[in-house]
A and B are shown apart, each in its own frame.
Chain A
């Protein structure tokens, strides 16, 4: 059974701090790893990673995948209060339509 573990489960920081969120996985026939941001109900897509060692970047957010060690990190630099959300990591494996999610990391950014 595919498995995704995220850490930490929650994190409180001050505006301007840099944070690193972790995602480790066990999956049969790995295809891709995805990061989502969930502020209220609808998770919004951030990144999809398929190749090891290639950083994806969007503004202050970046992510990288290590397929050898089976993990990914999501970095957020110069955090803002609007970054407060649950960040979800998910993987696809043998079924390339089914996402297996971790429980998420609750990030709170205080002013």
Chain B
């Protein structure tokens, strides 16, 4: 597609339920990232994919969070047993290659707004 596409755009879920957030990166982009933006906070790095592998998942806040990427394209971020503190905007981004530099930057999707009640 023309840009990074994320779904759902908004999700309200009950505490303790599992949620899946989907990201469809820009066609041809090999690198994919997930960030989280909580109210009043800056964007927080979660995980980085190069192709289907995740060389850096150091930002995932707990083992309730997991992500996968298949076919070098679509990625899914899964949050199990959601808690209220998981409420945030989850932003996906992609770039042509993994190393940011001149001529290679990352492009963000519109995000998925998750509210845990």
Q: CB within 8 Å of B: which residues of A?
A: 4, 31-32, 34, 36, 40-45, 48, 50, 88, 90, 92, 95-104
Docked complex Cα distance between A7 and B85 (Å): 26
Report B-chain residues with C-beta under 8 Å of the C-beta of A98. Answer: 45, 48, 56
Q: Is the CB of A96 within 8 A of B101?
A: yes
Q: Is the CB of A50 within 8 A of B102?
A: yes
User: Which chain B residue shows the least CB distance to A34?
Assistant: B105
Residue from B41, B42, B102, B110 whose CB has the most chain A CB atoms within 10 Å: B42
SS class, residues of chain B in contact with chain A: strand
Given known A40-B110, A41-B91, A42-B109, contact A96–B41 (CB-CB < 8 A): no
Report A-chain residues with C-beta under 8 Å of the C-beta of B89. Answer: 41
Size band of the B side of the interface? 20 to 34
Given known A4-B42, A42-B91, A90-B43, contact A97–B100 (CB-CB < 8 A): yes
Q: Is the CB of A42 within 8 A of B56?
A: no
User: Which chain B residue shows the least CB distance to A98?
Assistant: B45
Q: Is the CB of A100 within 8 A of B109?
A: no
Interchain nearest-CB distance for B7 vs A (Å): 13
Number of A-B contacts (CB under 8 A): 68
Interchain nearest-CB distance for A66 vs B (Å): 19
Q: Is the CB of A97 within 8 A of B48?
A: yes
Q: Is the CB of A88 within 8 A of B99?
A: no
User: Which chain A residue shows the least CB distance to B33?
Assistant: A97
Given known A31-B100, A41-B113, contact A100–B107 (CB-CB < 8 A): no
Question: Contact partner of A48 among B45, B48, B102, CB < 8 A?
Answer: B102
Report B-chain residues with C-beta under 8 Å of the C-beta of A45. Answer: 105-107
Docked complex Cα distance between A103 and B43 (Å): 7
Question: Contact partner of A41 among B31, B44, B110, CB < 8 A?
Answer: B110
